[in-house]
Structures are given as C-alpha cells and as structure tokens.
Structure 1
C-alpha cells in the first residue's frame, strides 16, 4: 500500500467501546504522563484488552495510574500508544460515537465514528516498565468524599520549592487515631482533621500526584476507597471504582507543624472579610509580578491595599476589633476566600502567626503576617 491509497477499515474489530468511555479513561490515565520525556515509552499509555474492559495505564515512574474502560474485547494483546496522539484522535469525536480497534503487527487501526485512522506503534509493549507491587502495605477503607474533601481543603498551601522537597506534598498522618492532612510552604499552614481512621504509616503524598487523584474523585462521591501505605519503601496505593493509583511518596521528615499553631486564647483582635468585599479590592498580581500586603487596621475597622508598584491605595470597611494593624500576602487571603465565603482572622500581635477561621470547624489555617 502506498501513502496515496485510501485507508481500508478493519473487517472485524477486536475491541469495541464508545468514545465517551474511552475518552474518560484516557484523559484520566494521561494525567500522570509528562508532556516531555527523555524515555519515549513514558509518553505513552499501555492498553490491555481484557474480557469486558480495557485496562489503560500511564506512568512517570513515580506515579502509576490504571483506569478501566468498559469494552467488548474478542481478541487482542497489550499495546502501547502515544498518549497525546490518542487524545487528539478522540478530541473531535462525538461522545456517542463507537470505537473499534484492531492490531495487525505494529499497525493499529482505529475506527472512531465515520473516521478511520491507522497508527504505526513505535514502542513495543514489552518495553513497558514493571509497576511496583503492594508487598508490606497496610490497608484501610476511606470514603471517597472524605479523602476528596481533605485534598481540597489543604492542597493550596503546599510548597513548590524544590530545595525543601519534604514540603512538596500533603502530609497524611494520624492524630488521635484519625486521618489528618497538613500542607505548608513555611508562610502558611492548612491542617484538616478528617472523619476516618488512619492505621497506616505517616506519608507525604507528592503534589504532582494530587491533581491526578482529585481528577478521579468527587467531594460528593459515595464509593469506598481502598488505601494502602508502606514506610519502606515509602509508597501509597489508592483504589476506587475502576481505577488504581500507586504513588512513590516523598522520602523525608515532615516538620513539627504543631509548634506554629497559636493558642486561640491569646488572641487580642480579629477581622472579618468575605469574598464579595475582596472583589472590590484589585487583584494586583494580575497587573504586576509582586504580591502586595492586604493590611487590616483593627482599630479603624478597615482593610487597606497600598500598592507602590501600581500607585493605588484602596480601603474598604470591615467588621473588626483590636488596637493594632496586621498585614498578609493578599494572594494567601484570596486563595482561602475562593474555597470559603467568609473568613475570620484572629491575631495576638502584628508580628505573630494568625489564625484564619472558616465555615469548616475541622480546618485550621495559620498565616504568617508580612512586615508593614
């Protein structure tokens, strides 16, 4: 066959599924595939036909994600295909289109609705790396809604600095036998106490896997997740309905965050601000690179943003009480306000760590003030 000859569709499909199911599974598995790889096979997905489903697997060697796609598989063997290419082929298809797949040597034929594509597979399935096992893991069952909520409450506070790699994730640990998640970058701390048992080792779940896991869960989900963890090697595995994620956790010692949580009985002032009031204050990060301080003058009962770089001074009235002023990175306040509508900031002095209280009593937020 020359390049100018028309593509002939496969006579009988070895694999049949719908675009909606395949696109959902491919999008989920591709979440852990990095866009740039020096090892070509790590830019691919491994697809294995089973009796009534396709098992689609992606990895970056630190995170492994296996997602099942409902399918009819009459024949076929595992193959490896470029993740971005497969996503591109599925992007423009209608969700209720049918998909049929056949493999002849290293030529993969995909019929997606009325379109037929032939793909030459460049990486053999035998080159796919062996996923880690579960030997030595302890196990617990956690409701999906509980774990999804924990990640959503604290993920905004972890660090992205590579020098302090042990802060580049969510510290999942036990507090009085219950699951707690903590994240900090040294300037702010978020601690969430979940309603679930935690008999597993204390582990630091890496930030690069947080987005992939949240893509698989929903805060209102009602399934039970099977969670396993081991301290040597530091690994965690989480399994849900039709998916399994295995993650190499951060091998490091998390700092004692309890030392920075202030005693609420020592607080001498407070300020209350909500999302609607914050919208009246310009987001200066969108206009220049620096973050400005959002100052709370408790005596005058006003919040003030003074940006030297932009030459603006904005003041809004707030509910407050106290005899001092305190300022915070405005970006930190905005990030918390994106999750909760109303924030109550409590502080003892203008230079000590402050507490931010929200509608969630299980969440503790600590923020260090800026020098005014």
Structure 2
C-alpha cells in the first residue's frame, strides 16, 4: 500500500474514526484503525464492537492495500504535522510496519493483520429513509441531556427513536428520560420511515452522531432494524447496535391537566437560575420558585453556605404557588429553548411540571419537583 493525502483531509478522517476507539482495550486489535486504500479513496474504519464508523477521504493511491495501526497514535502524529503538509502512508514489507512521511518527518508504526479486524455484520434493515441533518440534529440535541447515566436502568441509557402519532399526524419522535426529567421532540416523518421499528439509540452513538450532523442541509440516509441503526453521508457511515430493552411508556408521565401557566424570557430565566444556584449546596442544588401575579421569585437557602434571591417580571395570572426544582435540571431544560419565551405549566408543588417553547408543541419537556 502507498498513498498520498493532504494533512487536513487525513486529520478529519482519522479524528472521526479514533473517537470511537475505547482508550482501554483487552483486545489489542480494537485499539487500531483499519486503513483501506483503493481507486482514489482511502477509508478509515474503527469499532468498539457496539459502534462502527467508516470515514472516507480522497487520496492519490499509488498502490492499493490495507493494514491496521493504532488509532490514537496515528491521530496524534497527523494532528502535530504542519498545516498544508502532504502525507504519505506506505507499508514496509520487510518490517511489516506502516511508514508515515511528511516533509522531513518520518514515523514507523507497528501494525496488526487486517484479517483480525472485526467488521460489524451487515443487518437486514426493515426501514430506509433520508432525513436532513438539521432535523436529526434537533431530535438528538434537544433530547440527549435527559439520557440516564444509571447503568442498572440500561434501557434509559439512550434516545428512544420511533414513529408516533400527534395532532399533526404521524411524526418521527425522540424521547429521553432519567426518571427526573423527560424530553420529547417531534419532527416531520420522512418518506419511507412509516414502518420503522422503535429503537433505543445508545448514549455514545448519540455523541458520535453529532459529528455527522454539522452541515444541517446534508441529507442523511438512515437505516433501521430491530438490532441496529445506521446513519450515512456520502463520506461517513456510522453503524450502531441499539439497546436491547423496552423503553417505558413515557406518555403516562407527561401531564395533561396542568393549568397554571407561566411565561418567561428563557434566557433571563436561565441566567437567574444560574446566579441564585451559586450558593446552593452541591448535593441537592435546590431552587425554590415562588409564583404570584406577574412575578417570579427564585430563591435558594443553604444554611451552610448562604442564601440568594432574584425577582423576575413574568406573565402569570393564576393563584400563588411555591415549588422547588433541582437547579441543574431547570438550567438544562431552559437552555433547550430556541425561541424567546419558555412556557411552564404547573399543577401543584408535588406534581410534574411541563415546559415548552412558546406555542410550539413539537418540543415538550417534563421535570419532577423536589422539596425545598
């Protein structure tokens, strides 16, 4: 194998691949990236056995071939090479190693046989559709904060992507919850997604997916089966196993009868919560909301640290209410609001609170109160 490639193209491809690789591996080959060169393209494939990413880049291929080298080491070398460098990759048959040359720099890396590299088995996908990167990005970005980190409830360790029926008809819906807060985001259902099985996309996959969705106009080919999900652009293919479990019936925890309505500037609210939470105890970070006619008072009382209070002018016309929340949860939900105003719907101090962006019902958030 012998190829030449621009440093910027190589860095982009290697960075995407090496981020999938786990830092600690009991199987040496999983620390490597599989490099395959053919025609005018070089591809980099990495896997942790649950996720597989393939990134392709244009290159001058003098001699086709394939090998595997340390993903982290290759990334570090390319990252430190000067901008604009032309990088040559070639295998040395005598030593069985990969030689990397750029200008006056030369590196030799140990390799492992390409035959040992595990390639994820292809699946029979039951649904194939195309969606804009921007729509998928909104689904995952707005729901990912609510993914549970509790490993015992593994079925909550991802985003539940499925087809749901709303007032507007069938929608592509993403839901995440950790039992304390919940995010439910809807997008128009793409053609071909009607028969899609509901799948739980793992937390790590959601994180890796963000890199594919940078250009919001890029069409993303999505393929879904009962066990796998695949997202593909012309350059990158990300394949992932889905979480083998049943996502709970989230509709039961979304309150429908909350009538006490608070409308507040989302940015001002988030800043005020952040300020008063400075003195809250780290363990609970509890913030009390006291609602009265067109007035909201945010307060924290931490006996060992101090107290804080801030008043906001809001739109509220219902009876007085005092309710407490975890400051971190309130901040995360408020930061999801793209529009100017956030609308909170309350029932009582002990019931779940619903939040949405103005009159938009395509993004709904639920947060559980706490005693203060």
Query: 8 Å contact 2:276–2:298 — kept in the other structure?
Result: no
The one of 181, 206, 228 aligned to 2:202: 206
**Following the alignment from structure 2 to structure 1, what is the Cα–Cα distance between the partners of residues 137 and 254?**
24
**1:286–1:211 CA distance, 2 compared to 1 (3 A):** farther
SS of the equivalent of 1:363 reads strand
Instruction: Give the equivalent residue in structure 2 for 1:5.
Output: none
**Aligned: 1:370 with 2:366:** no
Structure 1 residue 131 displacement after superposition? 1.6
CA deviation vs aligned residue, 1:148-184 (integer Å, no higher than 9, x gap): 1111111111101001000000000001332100000
RMSD, aligned CA: 2.0
Query: 8 Å contact 2:287–2:299 — kept in the other structure?
Result: yes
**1:302–1:287 CA distance, 2 compared to 1 (3 A):** closer
CA deviation vs aligned residue, 1:263-297 (integer Å, no higher than 9, x gap): 1x541242525333543443757986423122110
Instruction: Give the equivalent residue in structure 2 for 1:215.
Output: 211
**Aligned: 1:244 with 2:232:** no
Instruction: Give the equivalent residue in structure 2 for 1:335.
Output: 332
Structure 1 residue 312 displacement after superposition? 2.5
**1:283–1:23 CA distance, 2 compared to 1 (3 A):** farther
CA deviation vs aligned residue, 1:66-121 (integer Å, no higher than 9, x gap): 11011111213211110110111011223321111111121211112431112222
Instruction: Give the equivalent residue in structure 2 for 1:256.
Output: 249
**Following the alignment from structure 2 to structure 1, what is the Cα–Cα distance between the partners of residues 29 and 180?**
39
**Following the alignment from structure 1 to structure 2, what is the Cα–Cα distance between the partners of residues 179 and 41?**
37
**1:285–1:208 CA distance, 2 compared to 1 (3 A):** farther
Q: Which runs of 5+ in 1 are unaligned?
A: 1-12
SS of the equivalent of 1:244 reads strand
**Following the alignment from structure 1 to structure 2, what is the Cα–Cα distance between the partners of residues 46 and 309?**
55
**Following the alignment from structure 2 to structure 1, what is the Cα–Cα distance between the partners of residues 281 and 76?**
35
**Following the alignment from structure 2 to structure 1, what is the Cα–Cα distance between the partners of residues 303 and 245?**
40
CA deviation vs aligned residue, 1:175-218 (integer Å, no higher than 9, x gap): 13321000000111100011223321100000011111111212
SS of the equivalent of 1:236 reads strand
**1:239–1:335 CA distance, 2 compared to 1 (3 A):** same
Query: 8 Å contact 1:350–1:369 — kept in the other structure?
Result: yes
**Following the alignment from structure 1 to structure 2, what is the Cα–Cα distance between the partners of residues 266 and 335?**
21
**1:278–1:266 CA distance, 2 compared to 1 (3 A):** closer
Question: Larger deviation: 161-170 or 94-103?
Answer: 94-103
Instruction: Give the equivalent residue in structure 1 for 2:346.
Output: 347
Instruction: Give the equivalent residue in structure 1 for 2:48.
Output: 60
Aligned residues: 355
CA deviation vs aligned residue, 1:342-361 (integer Å, no higher than 9, x gap): 43222011111111122554
**1:326–1:283 CA distance, 2 compared to 1 (3 A):** closer
Of Structure 1 and Structure 2, the greater strand share is in 2
Query: 8 Å contact 2:37–2:64 — kept in the other structure?
Result: yes
Structure 1 residue 51 displacement after superposition? 0.8
Instruction: Give the equivalent residue in structure 1 for 2:84.
Output: 96
CA deviation vs aligned residue, 1:20-69 (integer Å, no higher than 9, x gap): 00100111111211111111111111110011111100100000111101
Q: What does residue range 125-164 of structure 1 map to in structure 2 within 5 Å?
A: 125-164=114-153
- TM (normalized to structure 1)? 0.90
**Following the alignment from structure 2 to structure 1, what is the Cα–Cα distance between the partners of residues 34 and 187?**
35
**Following the alignment from structure 1 to structure 2, what is the Cα–Cα distance between the partners of residues 95 and 288?**
47
**Aligned: 1:112 with 2:112:** no
- TM (normalized to structure 2)? 0.90
**Following the alignment from structure 1 to structure 2, what is the Cα–Cα distance between the partners of residues 46 and 287?**
49
Query: 8 Å contact 1:285–1:291 — kept in the other structure?
Result: no
**1:292–1:165 CA distance, 2 compared to 1 (3 A):** same
**1:292–1:273 CA distance, 2 compared to 1 (3 A):** farther
**Following the alignment from structure 2 to structure 1, what is the Cα–Cα distance between the partners of residues 279 and 90?**
50
CA deviation vs aligned residue, 1:210-250 (integer Å, no higher than 9, x gap): 111111212x522221111111xx11111112111111000
